[in-house]
Chains A and B, each alone.
Chain A
Amino acid sequence: MPHRRLIIDTDTASDDAVALIMALRWPDVQVDAITVVHGNVPLEQGSLNARYTVELCAAKTPVYEGAARPLLRAAAHAEWFHGPDGLGDMRYPAPRRAPAGQDAVQQLIRRFGEAPGEITLVTLGPLTNIALALGVEPRLAHWVKECYVMGGAACCVGNVTPAAEYNIWCDPEAARIVFHSGMKILMVGWEHCRGQATLSAEERAAIYRLATERACFAMDCNRAALQAGRELQGETGLMLPDPVTMAIALDPAVCTGRRPHFVDVACADELTRGMTVVDQLNVTGKTPNIEVCWAIDFERWKAILVEMLS
């Protein structure tokens, strides 16, 4: 019997898919549900990609579709990064199963409400579904055991604007609601997938040599992301922000430095839209609302990835 239960909210494109594989394969974890949100790709495409990944893992996890657009703003997808289908345009076949429903927000409320304090939430996309669920049912904040958020950039550069990381930038109002909800949150910024955390050509080749369908899929579907990261962000290795966050959720020891801080999200103007403003030195004197990941164990993260793709 699995010891831990997860619900994953995802805008399933290439790195999301790898993170889903990791969670679905982790021995003592049961993924109760996957909720899909707009983001990297339009909602319908994200739903297709999530279901394809679930079937690749021979799992039966229900996939629910949620918000198709941010709370207030127009949807802004990132096919330019992940490829037209979000999975490197590899022309994977359509999944066999239909979505389990279009009521992701209701499912979040129902499932966490039925097991308060027992289920961990991992968010890999914009936080629209979670913000809506909190609006409808504020107690959700305390029903979630803990929440790992892939999003933001703590005191460092952004990837979609100089100030902001994509997931938070997409729906900054939603992120602000979630961060101030009282939910126990660890924010894992996109900086933790850069530099030493990227997969080098040798490491990617080693994963291909695992020769499992999952391993090849994990690398193939990220080929557009690899190229975009190289051309647009000057990163020669493959960046996998969602899998890094998932590795921490599965094995918290991957995170080697975490501290609570007051963190707010800039919503007012385009220059700073979606910036995660971390009060690192507590200059505001405000009570910390979430925890921020400051450092990860690169070797441990990569070992987990390889193990889950083997």
Chain B
Amino acid sequence: MTRKIIIDTDPGIDDAMAILFAFAAPELEVVGLTTIFGNVQTHLATQNALRLVEFAGRAHTPVAHGAEQPLVIPYDRIPEIVHGADGLGNTHQPAPEGQAIERTAAQFIVETVMQHPGEITLVPVGPLTNLALALDLEPRIVNHVQEVVLMGGAATVNGNVNPAAEANIWHDPHAADQVFTAGWPLTMVGLDVTMATTMDEAYLAGLRATRTGDYIYQISRFYQQFHKLAHNLDGCHTHDPSAIAYLLDPTLFTTERGPIRVITDGIAAGQTLLDRRRAWLAPNAWSDLPEVTVCTGVDAERLLDLYRACILRP
């Protein structure tokens, strides 16, 4: 039995690597892509999502255009240095043929979850604005999703925008705090594990045997330059694909449980602060909040094997 997932995404090179991974995995049925600002502006995210479903031969997959601004703070820093001006490593792909559905991302999420109670897993790999809006539109989705598996945050390591914050959470910390504390089954696949898995040059070159793998190799050229510049790394971290890997095989990861609050203001805005102690003399902002699952360790080798096997599957 396949698992129905909605990927909420800001493609984005690693988003593309994750989406193509999900399409290639027979265990997953991608029932829709919803788009969000982050790596690129939402309009470009929608264009790239359409490009990806068309490239993958899944043009029937609905793409729903999402929020264009965070809940509260402005969106004013587009990381072109990471993903390129076109979000796909400056590969300058032709315009897509299709277009987004009429419903917006939050509406599509609500409708789909409510029509398939208990069956939909939400996989946000960008800022969490659409999920927060969906929670506002229909609070009952909390009890009707199968689970939420998100890429974002950093519980036991530094962020990647600054010491406190990971980019997806940093773009809309208010939305993220709502999503982490909503009370639905949620797993955070954050920098704790995504930066512990590196696709090096040889690995990426080894994917080129299939059309999908070659596409991934092409878009990763720019991404790899960024990793060289920012991390002095001859390869790429495995951010968004790690969330898909968790869906396919959670035993790749070791996890902890606890409540997470997101810091929304000040120098640590965007930090995902996990209560790892759980025993305090006085109540605090984490007390009585629902626990979430946090990936803190990963078997990188097995994860990379799984990814390669999927991408190279004929």
A interface residues (Cβ-Cβ under 8 A, vs B): 67, 71-72, 103, 105-106, 109, 132, 135-138, 173, 176-177, 267
B81 nearest CB across to chain A (Å): 27
Within 8 Å of chain A (Cβ to Cβ): is B296?
no
A67 to B138 Cα, complex, angstroms:
11
Within 8 A of A (CB), among B170-186: 174
Given the contacts A72-B174, A106-B107, A135 and B133 also touching, CB distance less than 8 Å = yes
The answer to whether B107 touches A136 (Cβ under 8 A) is: yes
B96 nearest CB across to chain A (Å): 20
A136 nearest CB across to chain B (Å): 4
| A-contacting 9-mer, from B65-73, B157-165, B253-261 | B65-73
Within 8 Å of chain A (Cβ to Cβ): is B289?
no
Within 8 A of A (CB), among B98-145: 104-107, 129, 133, 136-138
List residues of chain A with CB within 8 A of the CB of B67: 135-136, 138
List residues of chain A with CB within 8 A of the CB of B264: 72
The answer to whether B137 touches A136 (Cβ under 8 A) is: yes
For A128, the closest partner residue in chain B by CB is: B136
A137 to B136 Cα, complex, angstroms:
13
Within 8 A of A (CB), among B271-295: none
A106 to B137 Cα, complex, angstroms:
7
The answer to whether A135 touches B174 (Cβ under 8 A) is: no
A-B contact pairs, 27 of them (CB 8 A): A67-B136, A71-B71, A72-B71, A72-B72, A72-B174, A103-B137, A105-B136, A105-B137, A106-B137, A109-B104, A132-B133, A132-B136, A135-B106, A135-B133, A135-B136, A136-B67, A136-B105, A136-B107, A137-B104, A137-B107, A138-B67, A138-B68, A138-B69, A173-B71, A173-B72, A176-B72, A267-B72
A109 to B174 Cα, complex, angstroms:
23
A105 to B139 Cα, complex, angstroms:
13
A43 to B136 Cα, complex, angstroms:
15
List residues of chain A with CB within 8 A of the CB of B136: 67, 105, 132, 135
For B42, the closest partner residue in chain A by CB is: A138
B128 nearest CB across to chain A (Å): 12
A223 nearest CB across to chain B (Å): 35
B263 nearest CB across to chain A (Å): 14
A106 to B103 Cα, complex, angstroms:
11
A106, A135, A176 pick with most chain B CB within 10 angstroms:
A135
A115 to B264 Cα, complex, angstroms:
37
List residues of chain B with CB within 8 A of the CB of A137: 104, 107
The answer to whether B72 touches A135 (Cβ under 8 A) is: no
List residues of chain A with CB within 8 A of the CB of B72: 71-72, 173, 176-177, 267
A304 nearest CB across to chain B (Å): 36
Among all A-B residue pairs, the 10 with the closest Cβ atoms: A136-B106, A173-B72, A135-B133, A138-B68, A136-B133, A137-B104, A132-B136, A136-B104, A135-B67, A105-B137
A137 nearest CB across to chain B (Å): 5
B224 nearest CB across to chain A (Å): 34
A105 to B137 Cα, complex, angstroms:
7
Question: Told that A105-B136, A138-B69 touch, could you supply 18 new A-B pairs with CB distance under 8 A?
Answer: A71-B174, A72-B71, A72-B72, A72-B174, A103-B137, A106-B107, A106-B137, A109-B107, A132-B133, A132-B137, A136-B104, A136-B105, A137-B104, A138-B67, A138-B68, A173-B71, A173-B72, A267-B72
Within 8 A of A (CB), among B75-105: 104-105
A283 to B129 Cα, complex, angstroms:
33
A132 to B138 Cα, complex, angstroms:
12
A72 to B106 Cα, complex, angstroms:
18
For A110, the closest partner residue in chain B by CB is: B107
List residues of chain A with CB within 8 A of the CB of B138: 103
For B177, the closest partner residue in chain A by CB is: A72
List residues of chain B with CB within 8 A of the CB of A176: 72
A67, A138, A173 pick with most chain B CB within 10 angstroms:
A138
A71 to B137 Cα, complex, angstroms:
12
B141 nearest CB across to chain A (Å): 13
A176 to B72 Cα, complex, angstroms:
8
List residues of chain B with CB within 8 A of the CB of A105: 136-137
Interface residues as binary, B45-70 with A (CB distance below 8 Å gives 1, 0 otherwise): 00000000000000000000001110
For A71, the closest partner residue in chain B by CB is: B71
A71 to B68 Cα, complex, angstroms:
17
The answer to whether B71 touches A135 (Cβ under 8 A) is: yes
The answer to whether A135 touches B69 (Cβ under 8 A) is: yes
A130 nearest CB across to chain B (Å): 12
B67, B68, B71, B174 pick with most chain A CB within 10 angstroms:
B71
A303 to B35 Cα, complex, angstroms:
51
List residues of chain A with CB within 8 A of the CB of B174: 71-72
A177 to B137 Cα, complex, angstroms:
17
A138 to B133 Cα, complex, angstroms:
12
